[in-house]
Structure 1
Amino acid sequence: MLGFNEPEFLSQMASAVALRPRIEELVDRLVDEGFDNLLLVGAGGTYAQMWPYEHLARRSSALNVRAVIAAELVASGDATLGGRSVAIFTSVTGTTDDSIRAIEYCRSRGAYTVGFTGYPESPIARNVDIALISEPKTWPFDVQLLLFMGRLLSRRGEFDGYEKLADELADIPRILVDVAERAEPAASAFAEAHKDTGYHFLIGGGNLWGFTYLYSMCILEEMQWLRTTRVHSAEFFHGSLELLEPDTSVIIFQGEDETRPLTDRAESFARRVSKDVTVFDTRDYPLIGISPEFRGLLAPLVLDTVMGRVSKHLERVRDHSLDLRRYYRVMDY
């Protein structure tokens, strides 16, 4: 597979899975001590990656759980933030300035802070109350967040089958390698067909809305300097559909949760207008070893793996490195 370091990928994913005992110990302690609300704090991609777990909590739990933008939290404040709050942060490098400032702000308000990163000596790891460390460059954080949220909801009596889910996640590194291998032909074909496409229209919903936002902004815009529109499938018919034309590249992310019909509806309309509609659907991947009732929860992780292959092939056909930046962490701002 193009640009895919399988041993490194397996090791990184295994390091995320290996955090299960520490995550469960942490969750159990927090539940036993008691807390009133949970903030999932991020910046850019790490903010978007919190949304599936806010979504899970919102539809399953009475606990106040919200995803928040780190910089906005510091600028605007939060009346619910205090000594009975828990705030979770994720950062690949552990050096994201907005998140570092948000950790300081949360701690100044008495909140208990948790950090997931791959670097134990990074500013984020050093400044949170507890840091849970995976191998360097481990991405995404879905395994850790799903274990945390699943255990939390299970302890609250709001999620059945957590132990079964967590046991099945032990095999997720191998499962995701299989996903990557199966995605390779479609990823290569999409990139070849769109090497000169300068604008993409992305649609997703449910627990894939965060990934839709992330792939649009953090990959296509930041890493490939392409213009995009991103819209939630439930909001597609309230304005954004007017941008579709026969040659518009429409990328649809389809998962397996209860919002699937909303994305089906958007796809059906998009195909009436555009002749260039591509659907990336988690149903296309067997995920052997994962029970049917858990497949929907894994959609963000599966799509991240699939689109990781697309990204590498776009890098190839467009001769545009995914590491190239003009402004991000290049200029002061």
Structure 2
Amino acid sequence: MLGFNEPEFLKQMASAVALRPQIEELVDRLVGEGFDNLLLVGAGGTYAQMWPYEHLARRDSTLAVRAAIAAELIASGDASLGERTVVVFTSVSGTTDDSIRAIEFCRSKGAYTIGFTGYPDSPIAQKVDVALVSEPKTWPFDTQLLLFMGRLLSRRGEWDGYEEFAAELTDLPRILVEVAGQAEPVAAAFAEAHRDTDYHFLIGGGNLWGFTYLYSMCILEEMQWLRTTRVHSAEFFHGSLELLQEDTSVIIFQGEDETRPLTDRAESFARRVSKDVTVFDTRDYPLEGISPRFRGLLAPLVLDVVMSRVSKHLERVRDHSLDLRRYYRVMDY
């Protein structure tokens, strides 16, 4: 597979799964001590990656849980933020400036802070109350967040099956390598067909809306300098559909949760207008070893692996490095 270091990937994913005992011990302690609300704080991609877990909690729990943008949280504050607040941060490098400042802000309000990162000596790992450290460069953080939220909802009596689900995650590294291999020819074909496409229209919903936002902004825009529009499938018929034309590249991310019919509806309309509609559907991947009842929870993680293959092939056909930046961490702002 193009640019895919399988041993490193397996090591990283295994390190995320291996955090289960630490995550469970932490969650059990927090539940035992009691807290009133949970903030999931990030910046850019790590903010978008919190949305599936806000969505999960909103659907299944009475606990107050919300995702927040680090810089906005500092600027606007949050009336619920205080000594009975738990705040979760994620950062691959552990050096994201907005998140570092948000940790300091939350701690100044008395909140308990948790950080997931790959570097134990990084500023974020050093500043939070507790750091849960995986292998360096481990991405995405969905495994850790699924274990955290799953255990939390289970302890609150709001989700059955956590033990079975967590046990099945043990084989997740192998499963995701199989996903990557199956996605490789699909990714190569998409990239070849769109080497000269300079605008993409992305649609997703449910627990894939965060990934839709992330892939549009953090990959196609930031890493490939391509213009995009991103819209939630439930909002597709309220404005953005007017941008569709016969030659518009439409990318649809389809998952397996209760919002699937909303994305089906958007896809049906998009195909009536555009002749260039591509659907990346998690149902296309067997995920052997994962029970049907849990497949939908893994949709963001599965599509992250699938679209990482697309990204590498876009990098190849467009001769545009995924590491190239004009402004991000290049200029002061």
TM-score (norm 1): 1.00
Give a deviation string over 1:119-150, Cα, whole Å, max 9, x none: 00000000000000000000000000000000
| AA matched with 1:266 | A
Name the counterpart of 2:97: 97
1:268-279 matches, cutoff 5 A:
268-279=268-279
Alpha-carbon distance in structure 1 between the residues aligned to 2:294 and 2:308: 22
How big is the shift at 1:286?
A: 0.2
| AA matched with 1:269 | F
Q: Secondary structure at the match of 1:229?
A: strand
Alpha-carbon distance in structure 2 between the residues aligned to 1:318 and 1:243: 25
Establish whether residue 10 from structure 1 lines up as the match of residue 18 from structure 2.
Answer: no
How big is the shift at 1:5?
A: 0.1
Name the counterpart of 2:281: 281
Name the counterpart of 1:203: 203
Name the counterpart of 2:172: 172
Alpha-carbon distance in structure 1 between the residues aligned to 2:220 and 2:300: 17
Name the counterpart of 1:314: 314
Alpha-carbon distance in structure 1 between the residues aligned to 2:181 and 2:133: 28
1:174-323 matches, cutoff 5 A:
174-323=174-323
Establish whether residue 126 from structure 1 lines up as the match of residue 116 from structure 2.
Answer: no
Alpha-carbon distance in structure 2 between the residues aligned to 1:221 and 1:176: 25
How big is the shift at 1:305?
A: 0.2
Name the counterpart of 2:76: 76
Alpha-carbon distance in structure 2 between the residues aligned to 1:195 and 1:109: 49
Alpha-carbon distance in structure 2 between the residues aligned to 1:23 and 1:287: 24
Alpha-carbon distance in structure 1 between the residues aligned to 2:274 and 2:170: 41
Percent of aligned pairs sharing the same letter: 87
Q: Secondary structure at the match of 2:234?
A: coil
TM-score (norm 2): 1.00
Q: Secondary structure at the match of 2:66?
A: strand
Q: Size of the alignment, in residue pairs?
A: 333
Q: Secondary structure at the match of 1:234?
A: helix
How big is the shift at 1:213?
A: 0.1
Name the counterpart of 2:27: 27
| AA matched with 1:82 | G
Q: Secondary structure at the match of 2:217?
A: helix
| AA matched with 2:170 | A
Alpha-carbon distance in structure 2 between the residues aligned to 1:58 and 1:179: 29
Alpha-carbon distance in structure 2 between the residues aligned to 1:170 and 1:209: 26
Give a deviation string over 1:50-69, Cα, whole Å, max 9, x none: 00000000000000000000
Give a deviation string over 1:155-181, Cα, whole Å, max 9, x none: 000001000000000000000000000
Consecutive unaligned residues of structure 1, counting only runs of 5 or more, are none
How big is the shift at 1:276?
A: 0.1
Name the counterpart of 1:109: 109
How big is the shift at 1:325?
A: 0.2
Establish whether residue 160 from structure 1 lines up as the match of residue 160 from structure 2.
Answer: yes
How big is the shift at 1:107?
A: 0.1
Q: Secondary structure at the match of 2:278?
A: strand
Root-mean-square deviation (CA, aligned residues, Å) is 0.2
| AA matched with 2:286 | P
Q: Secondary structure at the match of 2:88?
A: strand
Give a deviation string over 1:52-100, Cα, whole Å, max 9, x none: 0000000000000000000000000000000000000000000000000
How big is the shift at 1:193?
A: 0.2
| AA matched with 1:159 | W
Give a deviation string over 1:211-252, Cα, whole Å, max 9, x none: 000000000000000000000000000000000000000000
Name the counterpart of 2:326: 326
How big is the shift at 1:38?
A: 0.1
Which runs of structure 1 show a deviation greater than 6 angstroms over 4 or more consecutive aligned residues? none
Q: Secondary structure at the match of 1:246?
A: coil
Consecutive unaligned residues of structure 2, counting only runs of 5 or more, are none
| AA matched with 1:25 | E
| AA matched with 2:27 | V
